[in-house]
Structure 1
Amino acid sequence: MGRFDELIMSLQEKLEAVTPHLNERQRRILYAAEARQLGHGGIAAVARAAGVSKGCVSRGLADLDAGEEPDGRVRRPGAGRPALATKDPGLMPALLELVEDSTQGDPMKPLTWTTKSLRRLADELAAQGRKAGRDTVAALLKAAGFSLRGNARVLAGSHHRDRDAQFRHLNDTVAEFLHAGDPVISVDTKKKELIGPFARPGREWAPPGAPVKVLDHDFPSHATGTAIPYGIYDLGRNAGFVVVGTDHDTAAFAASCLRRWWREEGRAAYPHAKRLLITADGGGSNSSRAKAWKANLAVLATETGLEISVRHLPPGTSKWNRVEHRLFSFISLNWRAHPLTSYETALNLISATTTRTGLSVTARLDTGSYPTGIEISEQHAAALTIRPDTFHGEWNYTIPPQPGLPDVPLHPPGRRSHPRHAHTFGATLATHPLLTGLERTDLDRLTISVRERLDALPPKQRPRHRKLTTENIIWAAVLDQRGLSRSLTSYLFRIGENQMRALIKQVRPFLEDYGYRPEPIPARLIDPSDLANYVMHATATASERETSH
């Protein structure tokens, strides 16, 4: 073979340039042609230059001698082992028996839903003496028409015999209102969310090496608050209005959200409207059976002068409510993988929700107190004017304006309930201009000035508390200067009254040096609900005064 040593290098360069563009059969033919041209010793020389075995070159020579026309195949037909299903005709029936639903087979079989992974199915087959790997099991299942799939949440929990008729009645009423240019809204409460560094479902694009770090457990005790989004979807305008509550999801909260929507958006969008249609599911804060819901709607109808009609979805069909798939679904997409670290973050993510069809969303925060357990007396319920429809009046009814109704109770009988997260509630409300007597920019300047002087004190002389920041202590002292009771201030910030008194005593001289000597709050406030109601009433009065001018 020494006579080909000088040709090896040039032959190797030639083959390296050509063979990457050929398939396996074509490469064998090329090797064979080169070997035949070299003559005796050509097989070894080509094998050495190409880096293949001499058998590969010999098979190429055999292909040349056979003189077969190219048929597009690389290898001869019939290669490879026979399929396991061919060797074992009982393999497929045994596999199909394993993957039968438990409702179709024997419930006492050892195979359960948890064994339906490929590995467990292969193990079950092996226990029967049928050897098949995961890939084989997957191929057999695919050939039998199986595929990976999730659950489809389309079955209603209950099926009322008049369900379809109620949907037709609801749709006809919606079409009538929209044709007349009257407002139609769909309402519901979205799932409550914990405020804090908690994991959120979903994924989003992010730069490498910068994952968002969250807590490994979603314990409510680690949350700084609870967000209760109440959604209002305006069908005629394709606009959403979401009020994020911080206390409880009650009928009073739902009515407050509707009131706020009408004052901020509805009244301007429908200046000539005399009636309003609400579509809602049959449970929760807007339950068709709740007297508190209807009593609060009567108050709202009287305040706005609107005749309010309500159409409830039939039982078990709340997922068909339009606010669910036209508003809430897009909010969930927009805040996927975003930890709701604060109420401001939640509001920003909600208000940033848009769609290609032009959806716009407004988000507002409601820190008011909405205690549970409020009861509507029989006398109060009997005084309500509610006009039920002839078709399922429990689902379809109209509430007209009715002056002279008794006020809806703000507190349950007996001991009063308080906000779910009083410390967050108090810290948010403590900075309101109606309570501090200062605009936010002025309050910020006061807080910065006082904090700088407090930070200049020796550490042992600084006012501090493990539950409060320095800003919280300054705000508490500001409220004290405005005449808010110590007991209410201490309750709002969730610390003892004696502790609050000592902290305020340390900060008060710095406020006086700053020159903060305000007028007292012009109202008698006893508990957090009085505080929230005062702010809400004063804000609404100021808004109406600006509108009238």
Structure 2
Amino acid sequence: MKHDTASDPVSGILWTRRTTEKVADELASGGIEVCPNTVAKLLKELGYRLKVNAKKLNRQKDPGRDVQFAYIAAMREDFSQAGLPVVSIDAKHRELVGEFKNAGTTWVREPVTVLDHDFLSDATGVALPYGVYDIGANEACVSVGTTHDTPDFAVDNLARWWACHGRHRYPEATELLVLADSGGSNGARCRAWKYGLQHRICDRYSLTVTVCHYPSGASKWNPIEHRAFSEIQKNWAGRPLTDYETVLNYISTTRTKSGLRVDAHLVQLNYPTGVKVSDKEMKDLSLRPHDTQPNRNYTISPR
């Protein structure tokens, strides 16, 4: 085992690339007859553990990563101190609706039977959860789309949150801070996203919107990921999402000890892809990039 062993220098946990069957065979060749199960017990006593690969390596060199995290922290503090709303937005990965396997386990007498393959042709449809998480109120509003995750879809969901929750919760607020990932439908380089913010939120509600994007590869630090979406994932773990009513029910009944509340609704509008915004339309926006990393931080004011 000496040349097939690696270890964690901090925890001291050991692991090996050899299977218990191979170790048992080698011991047998040396005159020691043991079964693979006994080998597994002995390895545990020696400090070995079964481990999966840990996704921690990041080859993207981003010199402004720490600066952006510090800037986001400062912006959150400034808005919170002023009593202004701060929201975190993101889209969860697409879910097939139907009798499909859902990752996780649940306490039941008999396992629920599901289809043996996840074919889109067998699905009732697709569910595209898009969330707006109010950090100060610890409440999330999740819109479940049925077509595509586009910039128009993202803007509509944020506008719906402001119309139904935000402006009533913060009646005196004239500014909003939005924390978002760098890519996707609400990405830092997405023209349609900024265009939609101007026309359907800033101008319509006379609201100044400041957007700060997390660095590439840092989506796990976006608050909605670990405060809302992870809890929704736990709530429906091991339960097939057989229809849209089931999807909405699991999302809206998500609760945590810290007091999280989630509102969910279905959005059956068709959002076409490939919508373009021209240079002229971009010049008409009331868009002000910040001095700190202007490609990631900007404010859009009502016209």
Give unmatched runs, 5+ long, in structure 1: 1-94, 102-112, 403-549
Once residues 384 and 274 of structure 1 are traced to their aligned partners in structure 2, the CA distance between those partners, rounded to angstroms, is 18
Match of 2:66 in 1: 164
The reply on whether 1:322 has 2:228 as its aligned counterpart is: no
Give CA-to-partner distance per residue, 1:335-369, whole Å, 9 cap, x none. Answer: 11221111111011100001011100000111111
The offset of 1:320, in angstroms, is 1.1
Match of 2:131 in 1: 231
Give CA-to-partner distance per residue, 1:384-421, whole Å, 9 cap, x none. Answer: 2211111100011101112xxxxxxxxxxxxxxxxxxx
Match of 1:334 in 2: 235
Match of 1:368 in 2: 269
Q: 1:130 to 1:387 in 2, by over 3 A?
A: farther
Match of 1:275 in 2: 175
Q: Match of 1:296, as an amino acid?
A: G
The offset of 1:238, in angstroms, is 0.2
Q: 1:176 to 1:121 in 2, by over 3 A?
A: same
Q: Secondary structure at the match of 1:168?
A: helix
Q: 1:384 to 1:125 in 2, by over 3 A?
A: farther
Once residues 340 and 222 of structure 1 are traced to their aligned partners in structure 2, the CA distance between those partners, rounded to angstroms, is 13
Matched-pair contact (CA < 8 Å) for 2:5–2:16: no
Give CA-to-partner distance per residue, 1:75-127, whole Å, 9 cap, x none. Answer: xxxxxxxxxxxxxxxxxxxx1223459xxxxxxxxxxx996321133235556
Q: How does the TM-score come out when normalised to structure 2?
A: 0.91
Q: Secondary structure at the match of 1:282?
A: coil
The reply on whether 1:175 has 2:81 as its aligned counterpart is: no
Once residues 205 and 213 of structure 2 are traced to their aligned partners in structure 1, the CA distance between those partners, rounded to angstroms, is 22
Matched-pair contact (CA < 8 Å) for 1:98–1:121: no
Once residues 329 and 154 of structure 1 are traced to their aligned partners in structure 2, the CA distance between those partners, rounded to angstroms, is 18
**Residue in structure 2 matching 1:387, options 270, 277, 288:** 288
The reply on whether 1:185 has 2:103 as its aligned counterpart is: no
Q: Secondary structure at the match of 2:245?
A: helix
1:140-159 equivalent positions in 2, closer than 5 A: 141-156=43-58, 158-159=60-61
Q: Secondary structure at the match of 2:280?
A: helix
Once residues 96 and 37 of structure 2 are traced to their aligned partners in structure 1, the CA distance between those partners, rounded to angstroms, is 43
Give CA-to-partner distance per residue, 1:491-532, whole Å, 9 cap, x none. Answer: xxxxxxxxxxxxxxxxxxxxxxxxxxxxxxxxxxxxxxxxxx
Match of 1:246 in 2: 146
The offset of 1:315, in angstroms, is 1.1
Over aligned residue pairs, what C-alpha RMSD do you find? 2.0
Q: Match of 2:179, as an amino acid?
A: T
Matched-pair contact (CA < 8 Å) for 2:16–2:48: no
The offset of 1:130, in angstroms, is 6.4
Q: Match of 1:375, as an amino acid?
A: K
Match of 2:18 in 1: 116
Q: 1:123 to 1:175 in 2, by over 3 A?
A: same
Matched-pair contact (CA < 8 Å) for 1:159–1:315: no
Match of 2:250 in 1: 349
Q: Match of 2:24, as an amino acid?
A: A
Q: Match of 2:79, as an amino acid?
A: F
1:503-518 equivalent positions in 2, closer than 5 A: none
Once residues 234 and 381 of structure 1 are traced to their aligned partners in structure 2, the CA distance between those partners, rounded to angstroms, is 29
Once residues 132 and 241 of structure 1 are traced to their aligned partners in structure 2, the CA distance between those partners, rounded to angstroms, is 60
Q: Match of 1:345, as an amino acid?
A: T
Matched-pair contact (CA < 8 Å) for 1:159–1:316: no
Once residues 115 and 158 of structure 1 are traced to their aligned partners in structure 2, the CA distance between those partners, rounded to angstroms, is 28
**Paired-residue identity, %:** 46
Once residues 68 and 33 of structure 2 are traced to their aligned partners in structure 1, the CA distance between those partners, rounded to angstroms, is 54
Match of 1:138 in 2: 40
Q: Match of 1:146, as an amino acid?
A: Y
Q: Secondary structure at the match of 1:279?
A: strand
Q: 1:173 to 1:132 in 2, by over 3 A?
A: farther
1:258-269 equivalent positions in 2, closer than 5 A: 258-269=158-169
Q: Secondary structure at the match of 2:157?
A: helix
Work out which structure has the larger RCO, using CA pairs closer than 8 Å and 6 or more positions apart in sequence.
2
Q: 1:275 to 1:120 in 2, by over 3 A?
A: same
Once residues 124 and 244 of structure 1 are traced to their aligned partners in structure 2, the CA distance between those partners, rounded to angstroms, is 55
The reply on whether 1:218 has 2:218 as its aligned counterpart is: no
Give unmatched runs, 5+ long, in structure 2: 8-14
The offset of 1:202, in angstroms, is 1.2
Once residues 227 and 267 of structure 1 are traced to their aligned partners in structure 2, the CA distance between those partners, rounded to angstroms, is 27
Matched-pair contact (CA < 8 Å) for 2:5–2:17: no
Q: How does the TM-score come out when normalised to structure 1?
A: 0.51
Q: 1:151 to 1:303 in 2, by over 3 A?
A: same
Query: For this pair of structures, how many residues does the alignment match?
Result: 294
**Residue in structure 1 matching 2:3, options 92, 97, 109:** 97
Match of 1:194 in 2: 96
Q: Secondary structure at the match of 1:295?
A: helix
Q: Secondary structure at the match of 1:177?
A: helix
Q: 1:163 to 1:115 in 2, by over 3 A?
A: closer
Q: Secondary structure at the match of 1:268?
A: helix
Q: Secondary structure at the match of 2:101?
A: coil
Once residues 355 and 211 of structure 1 are traced to their aligned partners in structure 2, the CA distance between those partners, rounded to angstroms, is 26
**Residue in structure 1 matching 2:197, options 297, 314, 333:** 297
Once residues 384 and 132 of structure 1 are traced to their aligned partners in structure 2, the CA distance between those partners, rounded to angstroms, is 77
1:399-410 equivalent positions in 2, closer than 5 A: 399-402=300-303
Q: Secondary structure at the match of 1:362?
A: strand
Once residues 293 and 117 of structure 2 are traced to their aligned partners in structure 1, the CA distance between those partners, rounded to angstroms, is 46
> Greater helix percent: which structure?
1
